Structure 1
């Protein structure tokens, strides 16, 4: 492979690894690491969590709940089908057993300026789209422009990139904003998926479509049944199949994603052999639902796999743009009234830990009182934050789990009284005498049962809570358009928080349809901390600044926290082989394969379904 020269100074904040002898001040790189040094050297052949000799073949089937009406994941409109990402390659590929490290995929190397003003990616000459057309710098420039114009998320995620310039057919330069030269921008740029400019030049990328698009990745769409099923086939001549980042991965000849409108129906379909793997979050299902011949004979296996992945925050998201949820005391009171301890015991079998951080299960979670760099960060915006942040550790109310905790409700009523609410004529009323009425929008019946005790608690307070169930398509539209008071959802977090925090919390995304700022947060203090996180000069500062952001979000009471698990709970039909070593940051199902001997032993009902 032709070597490219990488210029990087001692002051560079980004680590570029895999050095070979070069002229002074120049290095050759195959990897980018935001934390420490890359695990894999220049001549690595495959990731440790893959089997380079894994057999190819067979069909892997996944069950999805809901529906879809679009296979263009750049378009904001429509509900996109699962699996689209398998069609496209990115400039770099992330490792699943390292924190925030990526290796060359479309790009064989990159150059980073000593002041982090730009990064140049050198594309592999052998990279092609599925029609044989080479991947060029023109495609990279087109892709950046397309996703930032069409997607609110990518517009903010790539905000630190001013422009992308083609220096030659296989050399492309990313220019970074002078005000935003944070250390992760070259890493972020490497995550850009590359679209074929020649394919889209006569098509509207902003429109949803069911016409299979052209890609460059390991799979392409083979069949589409709108709203029901989408199938992919492995591309035999995939240009990147022998790259170290791909060796031992993408082993299934076909992947089928089948859609079910109800979780209960989907679960029964799994046990009957309609699809292969089920991730389980419902405690009742995990302990009582797996019954029947297919489980008893061992054809279906259950397994718990511990992980060290950040679990972010899951819970009832309150839209602060929808009165009365723009009142912090109302949000505080609702948080106090939610009896997580009962829900965890009765529904989750006490298997969840409650979220006490927006960065749960990671070093970024705040605790106790702020100190050191975190305290200094908060001091810089002291006049903009609640004073109790400096004096009182954040803590969620711990009840007795009985479902009849009167002290919980008394405290909630007292908090509402701080904003002038009072119980009168059978209802909790605001200072103008208007009854307090709320609504949770739901797209699945499965979420309904966890809110029944919450609704009962609010009824005791004189608050009317409506549980509004709509089909998955309407749910997606309403969430995208911010037509809700509350929803049940989650914010996922990475091992290295950065640019994506803008889309989640920054005021410039508060009213943007399709953004990830589901809470509608528009707070100058939050804005300031988001920018400090993005601009963190090193890991120590990143941890301190993220903890400060976490503390401010918690004290804003934007989400009523639910719970999380620090392990994967999966059930699967025992027809797979998998590497002896699993990655620390995910299951990496794309490194599994169909074991021919196990597959041959499966019951006839399953075999017939896998051949559809």
Structure 2
């Protein structure tokens, strides 16, 4: 279980806390050197590199290299540390947050990062015309900020909430002078002024993007950052299909490849390149939070607004068979939307949903669906039970085919509508689907509001993609807002989880702990290769190019 520190508060508290001092990053290696290039795999080409406009892990990774937050968190303790702001004072009312900007903080064009940049960023995100839906959720809790002077800005929250400090601390600040006067919704692939360790380099649309390390990064000489952001060039290759990306990796066109498929890990990671350790294969475990994946069900439309139909679908997804025959029993079957909140002291009591066709048939009959001899499908009020499955690639084809056959056997037609990433995203933004495969990462601090609150069910481009609404869950979400004790919050989230498990907004699938990683043996890395809480993306920050190892690799491959 991930043990997370609570963000505790008391009257007139200052962050970082008293006694904080600059020190080297404890997870970085003292042997790290600057230089070289890392080529990493990314999924399909996103519709935007602007994380405020396209909330996914790809845009988050790119945007995070360009734009920094007001405060950072210690990579081990998670305590607040300075970033663009050197301190934040929390008032005794627990609602007033005053940030003082670091006088050293600079944009890449040499101009200082000011309180006005912070105010402009907030107002841009909250502008009703801005397509920044998910990012509005936390900031809606605040009044418009007040600029006190060039270096000081004050936020006042409308309500006490445990996440308020984290929300403001995590605000990625944009340069007003670079974006003002432009249509923010069109700022997708051009970021001429940045504050972070990398700037945008060459873009080959649909193929790859290069990020260039900034030698004049304002924070680069601080002890915390001297042994991170080591690569001179970070290059990200985009592929619609993971199989194609894996082939490119084996050819040496990609340096680092996370393996999400048990079949690939078990059957396609042997041979000379692997046996001779030219390619390193390693499963890395740390305290990276566990997310969930499942088949999302659109509760906004019939027949999926009927719990009996949703439960029937869950009974028709043969997870056990798929895990055994397709995935070598490498996965654990989900029982929860918050797997890492359970341990020996807090066992998960959610009932598993086994494959059971007879149970599914009974549920569908109870819901009024009867066989139509003319079509062979179940029907109700003259309408056949036909569902549209929105797919964005071939990764889930083999699972969907099994599901499709089992649905057909009980009289349900599953129509697979396969689209590319851009078209899939457009349909999802408009909630134009019945079913789709969705995987969600998890945060260290659990806030169920954006995905499960009723008020989020119809937010454009939001995270509540299923349209889930439940007053009982809303009440628990409201209760956790003012709970500053992390263990008490976890108790409330476990109650939410128990309700979700019965309401079935998703057909939950499976998960694994740890990161299965392959890389060409030419890099150095710290003792904890992915940090304490990170996944494969941590390599971009902590690893470095080792010219001696690269020379040894080249010699070994040449001589055999």
Contact 1:503–1:515 (CA<8 Å) still a contact in 2?
A: yes
- After superposition, what is the alpha-carbon deviation per residue over 1:404-435, rounded to whole angstroms, capped at 9, x for unaligned? xxxx1000111112211222315343431321
| Distance (whole Å) between structure 1 residues aligned to residue 474 and residue 345 of structure 2 | 18
Contact 2:12–2:92 (CA<8 Å) still a contact in 1?
A: no
Contact 2:372–2:379 (CA<8 Å) still a contact in 1?
A: no
Contact 1:422–1:430 (CA<8 Å) still a contact in 2?
A: yes
Moved more, 199-208 or 333-342: 199-208
What are the equivalent positions in structure 2 for 1:201-600 lying under 5 Å apart?
Answer: 201-363=180-342, 394-398=350-354, 408-425=356-373, 427-498=376-447, 501-582=448-529, 583-587=531-535, 588-589=538-539, 590-600=541-551
- After superposition, what is the alpha-carbon deviation per residue over 1:52-98, rounded to whole angstroms, capped at 9, x for unaligned? 45100000111223223533333359995962220011011123333
Aligned-residue offset at 1:44: 4.4
Aligned-residue offset at 1:320: 0.8
Contact 1:367–1:394 (CA<8 Å) still a contact in 2?
A: no
| Distance (whole Å) between structure 2 residues aligned to residue 326 and residue 354 of structure 1 | 25
- After superposition, what is the alpha-carbon deviation per residue over 1:224-249, rounded to whole angstroms, capped at 9, x for unaligned? 11111110100001001133442311
Q: What's 1:166 paired with?
A: 147
Aligned partner of residue 184 in structure 2, secondary structure: coil
Aligned-residue offset at 1:606: 9.8
Contact 2:138–2:164 (CA<8 Å) still a contact in 1?
A: no
Matched, 1:114 2:70: no
Q: Size of the alignment, in residue pairs? A: 544
TM-score, length-scaled by structure 2: 0.91
Aligned-residue offset at 1:573: 0.6
Aligned partner of residue 465 in structure 1, secondary structure: strand
| Distance (whole Å) between structure 1 residues aligned to residue 556 and residue 115 of structure 2 | 49
Name the Cα RMSD after superposition: 2.6
| Distance (whole Å) between structure 2 residues aligned to residue 329 and residue 290 of structure 1 | 43
Matched, 1:175 2:179: no
Moved more, 486-495 or 204-213: 204-213
| Distance (whole Å) between structure 1 residues aligned to residue 256 and residue 45 of structure 2 | 19
Contact 2:95–2:157 (CA<8 Å) still a contact in 1?
A: yes
| Distance (whole Å) between structure 1 residues aligned to residue 347 and residue 76 of structure 2 | 30
Contact 1:89–1:105 (CA<8 Å) still a contact in 2?
A: yes
Aligned-residue offset at 1:366: 11
| Distance (whole Å) between structure 2 residues aligned to residue 76 and residue 577 of structure 1 | 32
Q: What's 2:3 paired with?
A: none
Aligned partner of residue 294 in structure 1, secondary structure: helix
Aligned partner of residue 333 in structure 1, secondary structure: helix
Contact 2:429–2:460 (CA<8 Å) still a contact in 1?
A: yes
Judging changes above 3 Å, is the alpha-carbon distance between structure 1 residues 355 and 245 closer, same or farther for their aligned structure 2 residues?
Answer: farther
TM-score, length-scaled by structure 1: 0.84
Contact 2:12–2:90 (CA<8 Å) still a contact in 1?
A: no
Aligned-residue offset at 1:209: 3.6
- After superposition, what is the alpha-carbon deviation per residue over 1:281-339, rounded to whole angstroms, capped at 9, x for unaligned? 21110011123432232110100112333312211011111321111111110001101
Contact 1:358–1:365 (CA<8 Å) still a contact in 2?
A: no
What are the equivalent positions in structure 2 for 1:84-123 lying under 5 Å apart?
Answer: 84-98=63-77, 100-123=78-101
| Distance (whole Å) between structure 2 residues aligned to residue 256 and residue 172 of structure 1 | 36
Instruction: Identify which of 150, 153, 172 aligns with 2:134.
Output: 153
| Distance (whole Å) between structure 1 residues aligned to residue 14 and residue 429 of structure 2 | 44
Q: What's 2:16 paired with?
A: 30
Aligned partner of residue 55 in structure 1, secondary structure: coil
- After superposition, what is the alpha-carbon deviation per residue over 1:439-492, rounded to whole angstroms, capped at 9, x for unaligned? 211111111111111111111101111222111111111111211111111233
| Distance (whole Å) between structure 1 residues aligned to residue 345 and residue 376 of structure 2 | 37
What are the equivalent positions in structure 2 for 1:4-83 lying under 5 Å apart?
Answer: 14-15=7-8, 29-31=15-17, 42-75=20-53, 83=62
